[in-house]
Amino acid sequence: MRKLITLLGSLGTIIPISLSTISCSSREPWVETLDRPEPIYAIKKTGYVNFTEDKIDINKFNYTYDLIDEINFYFNECGYNVDDMEWSVVRNKMLLSKGLDDNLLQNGTYTFTITNKLNDNDKIIVQQKITNSKKLDDMIKNTDLGAISDIRIKTILMKVIFNNLNLISSINDIADGMLNEENFEINNNQITLKFGDFDKNDRDKFYGELVLTYKIEKFVPEWDGQKTIEDMSTFFGGKTQTNLDTLKSIKRFDIFTQFITRNFSNRLNYLPVLVNDLDVENMVIKKIDGTDNEYEAMLNAVSAPENGYTQYLIGSIKLTFTYYGEFEG
């Protein structure tokens, strides 16, 4: 479980475009041809004699839009008018009818073909693979959540995360979207997430629309009444670990996930109780006086449960950890 929390989102990578097979003759009568590995290149250019493609390092780009800007920059630098350039865009072997106006943040292998309106001999082909999309159906592949205890949005959030482990490193971003009541609609045994359209200038924003299905199986804790977090740990034969060691992120849901990992990783059926009865969104985080990198976070129980639900946890708990990044307070 702890290992899962450190999973990082993928970055765009570049793959080579296929060229032709090179053959050579041999003195051996039983060997006529020898297949060579296909050559690797970043940009395939025909014509465009003034264009200096060797200055473009495609590997440094994680997004198509930045690569496109770089190519246009060198068109201008080399004396070409970008208005004379025509771009054709293919994603996963499918031509995008809107070209550069289409959504180029989605996952896939992009092939850009650039021709010159003023010279039919000018042609550039560039290929780029994108794997860091924030489109919902790119990120959430397991859309059947199976059994959930209730339809509170944070219950569904945690089920989505643990059914799609690639989301763990983005838990705060997906939470920001799902906890906005305008971004979802619940009907019968499904929830429709509606995160809006893509924004090429806000690339960390989740977007798109997706339907998730589930079935309700009511869950009731093994104890009667209410318990503090420490009492809950004791009930299961343990002691609450409040020191979370060194964290790479101190966003609230990252802290909460690390806390769950250290204390209740073998009790994930209690996640709906923990995430709904504890006020994660209003967790208070501050640097410990007299230290450089030591912090504390106060995690309180909610003041009242959602309508119609029972609150099983009460009280508060102070968590401590080390963090070496910037802290805005």
pLDDT digits (tens, 9 = 90+) for 35-80: 444 444 568 999 999 998 888 989 899 999 999 999 999 999 999 9
Is the pLDDT score of 176 beyond 90?
yes
| Count: domains in the chain | 3
Is the pLDDT score of 188 beyond 90?
no
Q: What is the DSSP letter of 278?
A: B
Q: How far is CA 290 from the centre of its chain?
A: 36
pLDDT at 329: 66
Residue 46: name the closest of 114, 133, 146 by CA.
Answer: 114
235 and 315 inside one domain: yes
pLDDT at 4: 44
Taken in order 192, 277, 169, 174, the sign of the CA dihedral is: positive
302 and 275 inside one domain: yes
d(CA 242, CA 292): 19
d(CA 165, CA 268): 14
pLDDT at 219: 92
d(CA 229, CA 243): 14
Q: Which two tokens stand for residue 196?
A: 């809006």
pLDDT at 34: 45
Q: In the block, which residue shows the tokens 């589930």?
A: 214
Out of 130, 151, 176, pick the residue that ends a domain.
130
Task: Give per-residue pLDDT as tens, 133-173.
Answer: 999 999 999 999 999 999 999 999 999 998 999 999 999 99
Residue 272: name the closest of 233, 240, 312, 300 by CA.
Answer: 312
99 and 81 inside one domain: yes
CB neighbour list of residue 7: distance below 8 Å, 6 or more residues apart: 165, 166, 168, 169
Decide: 254 and 244 in contact? Cβ < 8 Å.
Answer: no
pLDDT at 307: 86
pLDDT at 179: 95
pLDDT at 14: 36
Global pTM value: 0.80
Specify which residues 301 forms β-bridges with.
278
Domain with 247 in it: 229-322
Is the pLDDT score of 8 beyond 50?
no
pLDDT at 33: 45
119 and 54 inside one domain: yes
Q: Which amino acid is at 155?
A: T
257 and 198 inside one domain: no
Q: How far is CA 83 from the centre of its chain?
A: 34
pLDDT at 308: 87
pLDDT at 328: 77
40-49, 230-239, 257-266 — which is least confidently predicted? Answer: 40-49
Out of 90, 106, 130, pick the residue that ends a domain.
130
Confidence of residue 230 (pLDDT cuts 50, 70, 90): very high
Taken in order 96, 102, 106, 112, the sign of the CA dihedral is: positive
Is the pLDDT score of 6 beyond 50?
no
Task: Give per-residue pLDDT as tens, 79-98.
Answer: 999 999 999 999 999 999 99
238 and 209 inside one domain: no
pLDDT at 327: 87
CB-based burial, 287-302: b 16+ in 10 Å, e otherwise: eeeeeeeebbbebebb
Greatest alpha-carbon span in the chain: 88
36 vs 296, more confident: 296
152 and 187 inside one domain: yes
Instruction: Give the chain's mean pLDDT.
Output: 88
pLDDT at 118: 97
Distances (CA, A) of 30 to 25, 27, 36: 11, 9, 18
74 and 138 inside one domain: no
Across 230-243, average pLDDT: 92
Q: Which H or E element spans position 212?
A: strand 209-216
Out of 107, 130, 153, pick the residue that ends a domain.
130
275 and 297 inside one domain: yes
